[in-house]
Amino acid sequence: MKKILIAKQNLEKTYSGATRTVHEQIKYFKDLGCEVHTVGEITNVDDIVRAGAISHKTFRWPWQKKYKRRIQFSNQAEKIAKLIEADLVIGHGDLQHQDVYLLHNCVHLAEEKINEKALDPKSEMYQTHTPILKNHQFKHMIANSKIMKDDMIKRFNIPGEDISVIYPAVNTDQFRVLENKAELRKKLAVNEDEFLVGLVTSGNFKKRGVDRFFKAISLLPKEIASKTHFIFVGKDKLNPETQAILDACPYKDRVRLLPIVDNVEEYFNALDIFVLPARIEEFGRVVAEAMSCGCPVITTKWVGAAELIQGKARDFVYGGESVEELADLMTKLLADQKLRDEVGKLNQESAFQACEASMFKRFDEVFKPLLK
């Protein structure tokens, strides 16, 4: 029986996209008949065991700087890999050496897109990721979008054949079109003759373009905005700068900040439009999930999940810099029910490119040759 070790420093946050990918890998390798182990510094052990894996926890040095803690974690994980005689080691950004490196974030590109400057060589993210990428400390890399793959080739001269693009999976059992849309909208106090526009994210609001969303709302025609409810779903508080943008919005009273919920698919099904005007989002599961729920989506070309969008729905993938363009796209969709229905159906069909079956097929192409 082949032994697989999957390493990620934080395996506690089950709503995290990277942690969900770990659970998908556990399922994949269990289905292959492998013995699956995970190693983490902070771990929801019960979840790992329920998924069918053996959990290992490393010792945590809370007084150390984050970079040194990452190195300590990497060293301990490598020892565990030797101890269990792992046939395959998979890293999720926290190992210095691994067989397969799953890259979740383009830290250099993100710094350039979000803060318009190069990543500081003294920063933890630079010191952690750059040696792995620059020195090619892996046999194969899995990128979660073409955006990521192209950046790795250009920035670090990694051969294209050493990088596979595998989109994170969408749970189509959960994220699907529900029949009770009217009831869901009623729960959110949206009348039949009103619209509902939303942005859902876990955090890092500047990266996800929350400020752009609020600015675009201010630019909507009054006849549209006055009958539209706007919801913003996130786990963090707005920083003073973004709060000031919202406070200055003439339609502030129509904007509601809502908490993250487990049944987030109900939000997607209630919406007329889902918006994610991100400066950079290496994939962005929320976009694919909203699509899978049949929701019209407006997002930027710097969102990996936008690569799934096809046909006329691609008219609503824009550059990202112009809030005027975002407001125009929102207005165009809100003013045309037929167009919303058409775009939503196209999105639902396109989202199947990121279903679990598609993901596992691509896993086969990467992992099976390495397990021979």
Is residue 125 located within the same domain as residue 201? no
Q: Give the DSSP letter of residue 303.
A: B
If you search the block for the tokens 């032994």, which residue do you land on?
Answer: 3
> Would you say 332 and 352 are in contact if contact means Cβ atoms under 8 Å apart?
no
Rounded distance, CA 22 to CA 14, Å?
A: 10
Query: In this structure, how many other beta carbons lie within 10 angstroms of the beta carbon of residue 30?
Result: 15
Strands 100-103 and 88-91: parallel
281-to-95, 99, 140, 333 alpha-carbon distances in Å: 22, 25, 22, 23
Neighbours of 83 (CB within 10 A): 11
**Distance, CA of 318 to CA of 326 (rounded, Å):** 8
Domain containing residue 282: 181-354
pLDDT value of position 15: 65
Number of neighbours of residue 261 by Cβ within 10 angstroms: 11
Is 54 part of a structural domain of the chain? yes
Position 60 scores a pLDDT of 81
Q: How confident is the model at residue 67, as a pLDDT? A: 79
| Residue 255, SS3 per DSSP | strand
The count of structural domains within the chain is 2
Tell me how far apart the alpha carbons of residues 273 and 294 are, in angstroms, rounded to a whole number.
10
Whole-number Cα distances in Å, 291 to 100, 175, 300, 350, 371: 29, 9, 14, 8, 34
Q: The tokens of 209 are what?
A: 């373009």
Same domain, 158 and 215: no
What is the reported pTM?
0.93
Tell me if 247 is assigned to some domain. Answer: yes
Element housing 205 (H / E) = helix 205-208
Tokens of 240: 């003073």
13 backbone φψ class: left, alpha, beta (φ>0; ψ -120 to 50): beta
Do 93 and 223 sit in the same domain of this protein? no
Whether 174 is in a domain gets the answer no
In a domain, 36, yes or no: yes
In a domain, 115, yes or no: yes
What local confidence, expressed as pLDDT, does residue 202 receive? 82
Closest by CA to 144, choosing from 4, 284, 289, 297, is: 284
Give the span between the Cα atoms of 249 and 260, in whole angstroms.
23
Smallest CA-to-CA distance from 212 within 294, 304, 112, 330 is with: 330
- Any domain includes 278: yes
Residue 305 shares a structural domain with residue 350: yes
Q: For residues 239 and 362, state if they share a domain.
A: no
Q: State whether 50 and 187 are in the same domain.
A: no
**CATH code where residue 105 lies:** 3.40.50.2000
3-class DSSP state of 7 = strand
pLDDT value of position 259: 87
Distance CA 362, CA 359 (A): 5
Mean pLDDT, contiguous 10-residue spans, the chain (372 residues):
96 80 95 97 93 93 77 94 97 95 95 96 91 95 98 97 96 94 95 96 92 98 97 89 96 93 94 98 96 98 98 97 98 97 97 91 96 89
Is 175 inside any structural domain? no
Q: Is 90 exposed, middle or buried (0-12, 13-18, 19+ CB in 10 A)?
A: buried
Does 231 lie in the same domain as 289? yes
Residues 347 and 365 in one domain: no
Judgement on whether residues 189 and 208 belong to the same structural domain of the protein: yes
Strands (E) located in the chain:
3-7, 10-11, 35-40, 42-43, 54-57, 88-91, 100-103, 140-143, 163-165, 195-200, 228-233, 255-258, 273-276, 297-300, 317-318
Whether residues 125 and 216 share a domain: the answer is no
Whether 238 and 363 map to the same domain: the answer is: no
Nearest CA to 280 out of 302, 307, 309, 308 is that of 302
Are 254 and 120 members of one domain?
A: no
Q: Is residue 176 part of a domain?
A: no
